[in-house]
Structure 1
Amino acid sequence: MKVEEIVPIRFSERQMLVLDQTRLPGEEKYIEMFGKEDVFVAIKKMKVRGAPAIGIAAACGLYISMLDYEGRDLADFRHEVHETALYLAKARPTAVNLSWALNRMEEKLASYEGSVSGAKRLLYEEATAIRKEDEASCRRMGEYGLSLLKPGMGILTHCNAGTLATAKYGTSLSPIYLGQEKDYGFRVFADETRPALQGARLTAWELMKAGVDVTLICDNMASQVMKNGWIDAVVVGCDRMAANGDGANKIGTSGVAILAREYGIPFYMFVPTSTIDLECEKGEDIEIELRDGKEIYQMWYKEPMAPEGIKTYNPSFDVTPAEYITAVITEKGIAYPPYTDSLKEIMER
């Protein structure tokens, strides 16, 4: 299977289907989105996940949610769009692409003065544009990322920032797919990424589908494979990057970055410009989503793997300080420290 055949969101004028990633790798099942509640649950329950894909799902979902609106007053329609956007924005607060996509959809209607049916058409076209732009963005990130890598490298990745998390190619996995096309022979090591196991269930699944040499490891094995000399670079995605270069990504990412620094291994964070939040000064200002502790000890087991009533702490993300990030790869180019300057310059291009 080629990367083109892995499609997390199928979208048309009358239908939106989401590949239920909670069922992977055992079952490839698409679920239809009929309204805002379906879209909210799909994002909240991580049936669709990954910052870019969340943004795409929000945009497509906002359109689908308004498809059967029967009123004819444009002001009332705009109000309903706004209320629906506010509702969807609460599904997962850390990923800035969610609010970015919804704001962009609303802005498309801001100066429109036509009919409600025309407004619906604008929403459809904007959702389609967001999706197409993400695919092109991922391709460009892959090309920039590939310029930092060499054939035969061993590459460690954490969580899933592949085509399942985007429109196509992925962010941090994009150079791996492009390298596969050029016979670079990368050897990828995928952290399982506890507690939701996106590395084991998703990254390993899609890389194997594409014929990439991938080895699955537990999160606490990263230090050992680095010590063995098997890792030449670390590539990860990002759900929100602050203006100073601090990057929020799946829980455990900051630990990998610290290990990479210890072993002298470059740590590359792949960040679409839609994920860069210049209004957020530093990582401490990023809201971190806390999830149900049952994900830690019950979700993947026939029987609970911890005593009943145990206290849990289950943050979905952590923030990697800018000082541990070797370079930030965007669709507009590569940013290097100091990020306060380089990210601003990237965003102004």
Structure 2
Amino acid sequence: MLVKTKSGTKHYRTLWLEGKNVRMINQLKIPHEFEIATLKNYKETAEAIRNMTVRGAGAIGISGAYGIYQAVSSANKNNYLQYIRKAADFLRATRPTAYDLFYSVDHVLKTIKDSDNFEEAKKAALKDAEMLAEKNANAGKRIGQYGEKLIKNNFRILTHCNAGWLGFVDWGSALAPIYAAKRAGKKLFVFVDETRPRLQGARLTAWELYNEDIKHAVIADNAAGYYMQKGEIDMCIVGADRILMHNGLTANKIGTYEKAVLAKENNIPFYVAAPTSTFDLKSKEIPIEERSQDEVLFVEGNCGGKITNVAISHKNAKAKNPAFDITSSKYITAFITEKGIFKPNKLKRLEKMLKDK
């Protein structure tokens, strides 16, 4: 990702390995501060996933892969398989809806199990985790290349939550076509849903677009329908945390479903951008993570240079806080993947491609 610093614009990946440490952009600090967090073991990496120091489907997945590498690196050779199984369970439990996390953890875990001995397992885990990271970055770039063709000059695009550079190792999913269109010389304007309660749109997507010099405006979550009705939105692009391959049901940040319904009502194309690692070929249902009610009852912001939490309801208030909702494929125009663009009724073709590889 591009980040404007005092010394000029620099390129960063969202996360990477340095020895046995996981380094990542601390997304809890953005947009007010830019900080690189260092996680020294798999439990610290798991906590970073849970508390959303790192978030976004792809970034969570690669964090999980790196976490398994950290686990095998610190294991005892006499019981390392038992140790990494516990580590895998610990990592998976952090964000139950995010399929990329399960995909990446299980991928590295299988690589370790298939290794001949402990030393080979450590080498194989590192190689596999880094391969998945490169695959994730390349998938984002390919999604951008395919999605850019859908974007016409002067398009006004609505996005929800953050599925950009910060949500992946590099490039992102929903924002990747926007970045590719900008590089192709197209003029764009992006409507950024604030995305309550964590405000990933207002905090993260707007910050990314600022660093990319893309014109944008943050809007209240319940203003999207107003702009659609006025004819000021040409297309919607969102990411996904899990997509059921057999029917296209899509879990994404809470509020996605209502945007999809509104888009269909107003004849606006609604695209879901995601790498194939987000597609779940086995499950029939999607578990929905329920997060702390404090995320709804309090809001964090910068007050005179100090980051402060402010209560926004009465002291005895209770809240419900589902992190995701589920959108039926009947509201989705197409899925933009690194393998191409697929309408919901063509997902069988994508499934065959993945099974035949």
Give TM-score scaled by structure 1 length.
Answer: 0.94
- Picking from 156, 163, 166, the partner of 1:164 is 166
Q: Do the aligned partners of 1:135 and 1:166 also contact (CA within 8 Å) in 2?
A: yes
What residue number does 1:64 align with? 70
What residue number does 1:337 align with? 344
**CA displacement at 1:347 relative to structure 2:** 2.9
Q: Which amino acid aligns with 1:199?
A: G
What residue number does 1:252 align with? 255
**CA displacement at 1:336 relative to structure 2:** 0.9
Q: Do the aligned partners of 2:163 and 2:239 also contact (CA within 8 Å) in 1?
A: yes
What residue number does 1:48 align with? 54
**CA displacement at 1:339 relative to structure 2:** 4.9
Q: In structure 2, the residue corresponding to 1:328 is in which secondary structure?
A: strand
What residue number does 1:206 align with? 208
Q: Do the aligned partners of 2:57 and 2:241 also contact (CA within 8 Å) in 1?
A: yes
What residue number does 1:312 align with? 319
Q: Do the aligned partners of 1:13 and 1:124 also contact (CA within 8 Å) in 2?
A: no
Which residues of structure 2 form unaligned runs of 5+? 4-9, 301-307
What residue number does 1:96 align with? 99
What residue number does 2:180 align with? 178
Kindly tell me: are residues 72 and 65 of structure 1, through their superposed partners in 2, closer, same or farther at Cα, counting changes over 3 Å?
closer
- Picking from 5, 13, 37, the partner of 2:11 is 5
**CA displacement at 1:103 relative to structure 2:** 0.6
Task: Specify which structure has the higher proportion of strand.
Answer: 2
Q: Separation in 2 of the partners of 1:311 and 1:2? A: 40
Q: In structure 2, the residue corresponding to 1:117 is in which secondary structure?
A: helix
Matches within 5 A, 1:221-232: 221-232=223-234
Q: Separation in 1 of the partners of 2:321 and 2:204? A: 20
What residue number does 2:6 align with? none
**CA displacement at 1:110 relative to structure 2:** 2.3
Matches within 5 A, 1:1-349: 2=2, 5-69=11-75, 71-73=76-78, 76-114=79-117, 116-242=118-244, 243-281=246-284, 285-300=285-300, 302-339=309-346, 341-348=348-355
Q: Do the aligned partners of 2:227 and 2:233 also contact (CA within 8 Å) in 1?
A: yes
Kindly tell me: are residues 125 and 307 of structure 1, through their superposed partners in 2, closer, same or farther at Cα, counting changes over 3 Å?
same
Give TM-score scaled by structure 2 length.
Answer: 0.92
Q: Do the aligned partners of 1:59 and 1:127 also contact (CA within 8 Å) in 2?
A: yes
* Number of aligned residues: 342
Q: Which amino acid aligns with 2:260?
A: A
Q: Which amino acid aligns with 1:15?
A: N
**CA displacement at 1:228 relative to structure 2:** 2.4
Superposed CA RMSD: 1.6
